[in-house]
Structure 1
């Protein structure tokens, strides 16, 4: 009786099952599918062996019972193929969609199984060789002929959406099954399908399903990959859970002692692992992530954890603990880590006892900012960053001889984002540098055709952010753009705020003279809005002083403000600076500023910031003789 291969295969699968179930593992849906593959393979191999025994001893078991067992084996063989397809497609759809797909495929499999059960089955038992044949067997082969190539095709068509190891393991497994099925179909006495099953299980276990692949061996907890898979499952299911981030900040006592750090992490995780209701994950750097269904479970565990670390050295070891009571508000592990980092930075001054609670308001603010970051990035990639220009009226000539460039982002629906919505985000994340470069490039492109200059435009003012001011290669970048567009540098004026001049005084001073030597002027923007320091007017070679609109508004209601503006105007003119009044919105404000002796006026009284084509129409109408 040729049953040796099946017995060996069953032993292998049972041993792998024992290894799988003895290790600590996460309850993942995809892991449950693999358990299904394991169990149905065990049943399949057991029935294969039992059917051969029934055939060999059919006088004892009776022929009807033998045929029933043989057909049951064929049915389970179909179910194993069904399970293989379910396992193959688990990366291709959501869990809910996948469960529905599997149920429908299961129904179709049962139909094939019922057809096989109703067919005749032949039994061969000669000279120790035992196998079955006939219509019932052919129905099973027909079902396999449909399913197995479909599984192989999935691993090629959807390989970019599938786990790479799952894809590779399935190809080996199904290829082995196909080859075994062909061999067994041609040589009925070679019962090698069971061996192919065990071979496939080994490949999947080693490459993907070994529970130790979810563990961080160094620290004794689940690793970052397991965190990502488990968190994605919780989010997909819409389950409520609590998530906690523990960051070891005060590691100075362990500097350059990675072995000590590893020891601390291992011991700390042993403390955390005492509570089975809390899952412990190791993340990057010195972070530990806890996930539980109940916040009280985390609170109880944290008491032991904090106590443990407070007693481990004379100075203690601080842990920054961030708790998010409603973990299902985030979208991914990356979002989670960025959210905790954002909240720690935003609320660093209000954190009590090194414990930070992440509220719904924090999450909403984070999503708004993160969404804005994505909008800025895509706008830069898709060239949806545009410049608007606000005319500046020259009182002496009665013409619009200058303009301030203001950046706008055009959304994909055609609407525009105002600078107040995206500039703070761009500055906080360093994207303001690329935005600034884009503005300089588009401004020079606007000037390159000479049409605006021909209509009397003499100066275009470009705002420099603090981060741009701190770039040592600022001059080289601007010169490269000027050279590329072939414009005269003297048409450009760089606006710098008081805050920027205070923070980056040395760098600005080193650049300003170089800029001015080639004809680019500088304006001190928003004077009177921040940390006003007249020393900077003396120390730094500004050409233009722009009075902040709030100072202009105060002129009408405060005598002190009037004296300040008049004094600033006199001082600026004595220093050889031109004075621009910003934010003028009414005729009364215009008349007041003209009486004060300012040189130019900018504001909605004349025009709002305009797109390039509207700005050209504006100066064409007002500057033409």
Structure 2
């Protein structure tokens, strides 16, 4: 019998099933349909072998039994081709497809049933001459027609539904359908070449290795599901309208040190081992070092949290002191009900916003997400989108607030401040979006946009000829820590032909410093190139005396809150006087921010403040208004 290809196909399917069943799966609909397809292909190969056997030994069996086995093989071909079609389109038909698309899915199922009934009703003939064997007749022709229809529809679906189907899946399906089509044509033209069922095995093997291998969903570090597939899992849960709860376990770190990194790795390792005992949740390990647990209901969340805390305590309180291990305390972000967010992207955004770090300053050891928190997350996302669109549509503006030099009695510097111009011509101010883009990481591209606009303005109007000695540009700590920042900024200065001595970088958000080493090293390199630095918001809680000592700053800006307090609080008055005296003794100049009255101005002059910035002189001005202001007051 010519069944060598079928036996090879059988070996392929047995191997796929062996490894597929040994690995954990997430329970996605695509996994279920792929598993159904594998079993249908396995059945098809077995029936192909059986039909060959019964045709060869037809003299031993009744014609009815031989014809029945051959027809069952034909039916299995239709089932396999339909299974592949359903595997391709199931998510659309079952979950997020339109009403008409879901009706189309039902229609396909009806067609499949009709095809099977027609095949069973039509007659079939068999041929065997000692070498070649095959079945033929109306039932075989009907099978070719229906299988061709499913293959063609599968190919069309991968193209039409490409926005719903991953590109890689579409490509692999098209390759599978091409292999199957070629094999069907070859077998139709030369019936002794029995390769149709084998071709389906090759297609399944391609899909397994490229898309459906459960091993590819697992983290090599821990063996849990990896973060690369968590969005797919959340998508599936939301599309299938399944209610679930989420608990994210992360860890609070306070320094970027070798000892703390070692402690973090030990903690993650111990937690990972323990989580294999949790059978009530799907567990995802992220490259950032935290775990996401997805539960069917909230009851399992509390019990699992209790078990983790007990486990950690048992390790740290080991009576055998030599075996006791210090671990970082876990921080829990709990989403009791998945309906609090509307989709997978929003849920992931929510979770990533509650990883404890030096920016969000989360307190306690857990956050339970409620509607108020979700509203804040949605607002942040909307603001982030607004900033991105403003950058894309050139609606970022830079305004300049003049700064008065008391000694020279004129405006010798100005601070560049960002604004966003909306479609209705209104302005959005930094307080409304800077903290959000800082947290999201988009502060770097936004800062680059601001720098380019400011440098372009300086190049175009030569404000140094109007008595302006330097311009202050805000430098986010996040950007200042970036190892690529120095070269990128120096390239900008070169591109716009701006002298480094004309730029003063104003350090902001010092409470978010993560790597002092990187920041201070970058500042030193830029100082060597001629740039100067100022420390913003001194006295607001974001700056402290250590930064005045450690950073190469030449200017310290007193925060508006501190200057306001100076006039009503004796303690604040003593602090301001001390800071000014200390700064001057170190050769550092002082800018008083937020000065709005003549009395405040005179008092600051008496104290020996070097520069005044505030609405008493001017609000931040658009480019041309700033130029007009400087011309009127400096010339």
Same topology, TM > 0.5? yes
Q: Is 1:142 the counterpart of 2:145 in the alignment?
A: yes
Q: Is 1:462 the counterpart of 2:472 in the alignment?
A: yes
Normalising by structure 2, we get a TM-score of: 0.70
Check conservation: 1:219, 1:262, Cα contact below 8 A. no
Corresponding residue of 1:291: 294
Deviation at 1:462, TM superposition (A): 0.9
Residues 55/100 of structure 1: CA separation in 2 closer, same or farther (3 Å cut): farther
Check conservation: 2:563, 2:592, Cα contact below 8 A. yes
Deviation at 1:575, TM superposition (A): 11
Q: Is 1:123 the counterpart of 2:125 in the alignment?
A: yes
Deviation at 1:107, TM superposition (A): 3.9
Residues 224/130 of structure 1: CA separation in 2 closer, same or farther (3 Å cut): same
Structure 2 distance, partners of 1:509, 1:59, is 91
Deviation at 1:123, TM superposition (A): 1.6
Corresponding residue of 2:314: 311
C-alpha root-mean-square deviation of aligned residues, in Å?
5.8
Structure 2 distance, partners of 1:4, 1:132, is 18
Where does structure 2 lack aligned partners over 5 or more consecutive residues?
Answer: none
Check conservation: 1:54, 1:61, Cα contact below 8 A. no
Check conservation: 2:333, 2:351, Cα contact below 8 A. no
Check conservation: 2:473, 2:503, Cα contact below 8 A. no
Check conservation: 1:392, 1:600, Cα contact below 8 A. yes
Deviation at 1:307, TM superposition (A): 3.6
Deviation at 1:593, TM superposition (A): 3.0
Residues 139/610 of structure 1: CA separation in 2 closer, same or farther (3 Å cut): farther
Which is worse superposed, 183-192 or 357-366?
Answer: 357-366
Tell me the alpha carbon deviations over residues 231-288 of structure 1, each in whole angstroms, 9 at most, x when there is no partner: 3322333432222344588997996999x9998567524432xx4x333444447544
Check conservation: 2:470, 2:504, Cα contact below 8 A. yes
Corresponding residue of 1:185: 188
- Give the 3-state SS of the residue equivalent to 1:124 in structure 2: strand
Deviation at 1:392, TM superposition (A): 4.9
Deviation at 1:15, TM superposition (A): 7.3
Alignment of 1:187-266 (within 5 A): 187-205=190-208, 207-214=210-217, 221-224=224-227, 227-246=230-249, 264=270
- Give the 3-state SS of the residue equivalent to 1:610 in structure 2: coil
Deviation at 1:493, TM superposition (A): 5.2
Corresponding residue of 2:274: 268
Choose the corresponding residue for 1:338, options 347, 352, 372.
352
Residues 473/320 of structure 1: CA separation in 2 closer, same or farther (3 Å cut): closer
Check conservation: 2:250, 2:291, Cα contact below 8 A. yes
Structure 2 distance, partners of 1:234, 1:432, is 33
- Give the 3-state SS of the residue equivalent to 1:389 in structure 2: strand
Tell me the alpha carbon deviations over residues 433-484 of structure 1, each in whole angstroms, 9 at most, x when there is no partner: 6655554443332122336556x45245314447377789998877665554
Structure 1 distance, partners of 2:204, 2:509, is 69
Structure 2 distance, partners of 1:71, 1:559, is 99
Check conservation: 1:499, 1:530, Cα contact below 8 A. no
- Give the 3-state SS of the residue equivalent to 2:399 in structure 1: strand
- Give the 3-state SS of the residue equivalent to 1:609 in structure 2: coil
Check conservation: 1:584, 1:604, Cα contact below 8 A. yes
Corresponding residue of 1:27: 27
Check conservation: 1:403, 1:460, Cα contact below 8 A. yes
Residues 134/412 of structure 1: CA separation in 2 closer, same or farther (3 Å cut): farther
Choose the corresponding residue for 1:442, options 439, 443, 453.
453
Check conservation: 2:88, 2:154, Cα contact below 8 A. yes
Corresponding residue of 1:278: 281
Check conservation: 2:580, 2:590, Cα contact below 8 A. yes
Residues 577/108 of structure 1: CA separation in 2 closer, same or farther (3 Å cut): same
Residues 195/489 of structure 1: CA separation in 2 closer, same or farther (3 Å cut): closer
Deviation at 1:84, TM superposition (A): 1.3
Residues 248/618 of structure 1: CA separation in 2 closer, same or farther (3 Å cut): closer
Structure 2 distance, partners of 1:434, 1:142, is 57
Normalising by structure 1, we get a TM-score of: 0.71
Structure 1 distance, partners of 2:615, 2:276, is 66
Q: Is 1:408 the counterpart of 2:419 in the alignment?
A: yes
- Give the 3-state SS of the residue equivalent to 2:25 in structure 1: coil
Structure 2 distance, partners of 1:368, 1:107, is 47
Residues 559/122 of structure 1: CA separation in 2 closer, same or farther (3 Å cut): closer
Corresponding residue of 1:593: 601
Deviation at 1:293, TM superposition (A): 0.9
Deviation at 1:420, TM superposition (A): 1.2
Residues 486/512 of structure 1: CA separation in 2 closer, same or farther (3 Å cut): closer
Structure 1 distance, partners of 2:238, 2:82, is 27
Residues 281/475 of structure 1: CA separation in 2 closer, same or farther (3 Å cut): closer
Corresponding residue of 1:322: 332
Alignment of 1:474-493 (within 5 A): 481-487=492-498, 492=503
Structure 2 distance, partners of 1:249, 1:567, is 36
Residues 61/474 of structure 1: CA separation in 2 closer, same or farther (3 Å cut): closer
Residues 508/163 of structure 1: CA separation in 2 closer, same or farther (3 Å cut): closer
Which is worse superposed, 331-340 or 468-477?
Answer: 468-477
Check conservation: 2:350, 2:374, Cα contact below 8 A. no
Structure 2 distance, partners of 1:532, 1:287, is 31
Structure 2 distance, partners of 1:282, 1:385, is 39
Corresponding residue of 1:350: 364
Corresponding residue of 1:106: 109
Which is worse superposed, 156-165 or 126-135?
Answer: 156-165
Which is worse superposed, 169-178 or 549-558?
Answer: 549-558
Deviation at 1:320, TM superposition (A): 1.1
Structure 1 distance, partners of 2:209, 2:542, is 64
Corresponding residue of 1:40: 40
Residues 602/93 of structure 1: CA separation in 2 closer, same or farther (3 Å cut): farther
Residues 179/466 of structure 1: CA separation in 2 closer, same or farther (3 Å cut): closer
Aligned length: 607
Corresponding residue of 1:423: 434
Deviation at 1:85, TM superposition (A): 2.2
Alignment of 1:47-58 (within 5 A): 53=54
